[in-house]
Amino acid sequence: MFKILVISFTFFLVNNVFAWNEKSPSDLNIDSKKIEHLFDLAFSDDATQSVVLIKDGFLIGERYANGYDKESFGTSWSVAKSFYAALILISIDKGEIQSLDERIGDYINFNDERDEITIRQLLNMSSGLQYPWHQHEAMFFKVDHMEYAKKIELEKQPDTLFEYNNINSMLLGEILISATGKKADILLEERILDKIGIANKTLWRDAADNVLTYCCIDMSARDYAKFGQLFANDGTFNGEQIISKELIDETFQYVWDTPSTWTTSTRGYSLHWWVSRYEENSKIFNASGRFGQYIFVDNDNDVVFVRITKYQPSFGSKQNWGGLSWIGNINNVGFLIWLYQGLESTGLVSFGNADDDISTPNTRSDGESDQFYDDYQLILDAIQDLSQ
């Protein structure tokens, strides 16, 4: 189950890609039964594709569903929010953006009350922008996601209520273009992914060539773990300070109590990261995405745990609904997911190769989570137990 490979550095370079230095759990004085328990919990959900566990910068365990391996892509869904939020932090470090409390009107000219929303309020999901029951997931089925986002008006006073709103994250792309002159996916490659050794990935844009900064990055579980390790290691990777420790510390705060339909436990939110547990001896944050994609980070104890669900990648990196473009006129997100999953399962449409009419991130029904959510608190207990 666990591979043993002891090298003097946390990462080693192969063909300009950083690979994990692997150690056995016993090398780090961790009972392997604790890891088996964590992994068994994750795989009690048949939707699980991959799990990867990092401790003190070393890969100490991984497991894959049948038919998948360490190279297999998962799709991030909203995990991508944390990636693109990190670019905002880097732009602050570089002086391109003055602070988290700067007005978004300095970068996006709405010419109305939306100009007064701050970058922090976008990142903390407290902008006050109009908030429907589907959290603007309907945007995913549009041709031009940014056009949709810019039409959303202010509904309430900012900083009065946490509302998980995809528009907040989509607007980050416009802020980054204004601040740097470059699109967010190019920045992500140059400022983060290249530096942490992620070469194989898909960064999705919509049909209008807007970067999907609220969702949609494809890569392996091992590579998602590299991003988690960047935050677990206070913004450094392979000896380079990529994000200042000051802004990592700013991220790892408990800001909002957040409602949930699937757990009775209180969670928090801060700068596009969820706060899963915030106790004296265990502060577990996570980037999370639809259907159960997770990067858990215990910064104090230097633990990263990644779980992604089953996924079959589409060809290309630009979303194209092809013959299904009409679905953008429907705002019932649950129905839309049921529709395209059903059409694919019957063979009426297909995703996955250059000959397909449709290209988009697409989680099939076998990648939808259920049990993992039910066991969420047990998962957190098992992560915390690694450091006891």
Say yes or no to pLDDT of 232 above 90.
yes
pLDDT at 343 over 60: yes
Whether the predicted pLDDT of 13 surpasses 60: no
Q: Is residue 3 part of a domain?
A: no
Q: Is residue 332 part of a domain?
A: yes
Tell me the two tokens of residue 129: 């922008």
For residue 216, what pLDDT is reported? 96
Give the residues across from 306 on adjacent strands.
52, 295
Q: What is the mean pLDDT of residues 120-141?
A: 95
What is d(CA 167, CA 142) in angstroms, rounded to the nearest whole number? 13
At residue 262, the pLDDT reads 61
Going by pLDDT thresholds of 50, 70 and 90, the confidence category of residue 295 is very high
Does residue 11 have a pLDDT over 70?
A: no
The verdict on residue 19 lying in a domain is no
Spell out the residues 6+ positions from residue 239 whose beta carbon is closer than 8 angstroms to its own. Answer: none
Tell me the pLDDT tens digit for each residue of 143-195.
999 999 999 999 999 999 999 999 999 999 999 999 999 999 999 999 999 99
Indicate the number of domains in the chain: 1
For residue 245, what pLDDT is reported? Answer: 98
Pairwise pLDDT comparison (57 vs 341), residue with the higher score: 57
Is a pLDDT exceeding 90 seen at residue 357?
Answer: no
Whether 289 shows a pLDDT value over 90: the answer reads yes
State yes or no: pLDDT of 10 exceeds 70: no
Between the two ends of the chain, the Cα-to-Cα distance in Å is: 22
Asked whether residue 225 is assigned to any structural domain, the reply reads yes
DSSP state for residue 376 in the 8-state scheme: H
**76 pLDDT higher than 60:** yes
- Residue 225: per-residue pLDDT: 98
- The mean per-residue pLDDT over the stretch 113-131 comes to 98
More confident residue, 320 or 181: 181
Is 100 inside any structural domain?
yes
Q: Sorting pLDDT into bands at 50, 70 and 90, what band is 1?
A: very low
Per-residue pLDDT at 354 exceeds 70 = no
pLDDT at 242 over 90: yes
Fill in the DSSP letter of residue 112: S
Measured between alpha carbons, how far is residue 211 from residues 83, 96, 169, 227, 243 in Å? 12, 20, 11, 19, 22
**Does the residue 10 lie in any domain?**
no
Place of tokens 């039964």: 33
Task: Please list, in sequence order, all residues whose beta carbon lies within 8 angstroms of the beta carbon of residue 232, skipping any fewer than 6 positions away.
Answer: 54, 57, 297, 298, 299, 302, 303, 304
Q: Which two tokens stand for residue 12?
A: 């080693």
* CA dihedral (343, 346, 351, 353) positive or negative: negative
Residue 322 included in any domain? yes
How high is the pLDDT of residue 12? 52
Whole-number percent of the chain with pLDDT over 70: 93
Residue 184 CA neighbour count, 13 Å, CB half? 31
- Residue 76 lies inside a defined structural domain of this protein: yes
For CA atoms 347, 352, 354, 359, the dihedral sign is positive
* Side chain identity at residue 296, one-letter code: F
Cβ contact 312:49 at 8 Å: no
Query: Which H or E run contains 227?
Result: helix 221-232
Distance CA 44, CA 144 (A): 38
CATH of the domain at 178: 3.40.710.10
Q: What is d(CA 203, CA 218) in angstroms, rounded to the nearest whole number?
A: 7
Tokens of 379: 């998962």
The CA–CA distances, whole Å, from 111 to 105, 123, 150, 181 equal 8, 21, 12, 21
pLDDT of residue 8: 33
pLDDT of residue 352: 65
pLDDT of amino acid 356 = 65
Render pLDDT for 250-284 as a digit per residue (tens, 0 to 9): 999 999 888 776 666 778 999 999 999 998 888 99
Q: Which domain holds residue 375?
A: 24-388
Grouping H, G, I as helix, E, B as strand and the rest as coil, residue 30 is: coil
Strand locations in the chain (E): 11-14, 17-20, 48-55, 58-64, 73-75, 202-203, 217-220, 236-237, 240-241, 268-270, 273-279, 282-289, 293-298, 303-309
Is the pLDDT score of 209 beyond 80?
yes
Q: What is the mean pLDDT of the chain?
A: 92
- Two tokens at 88? 């905002």
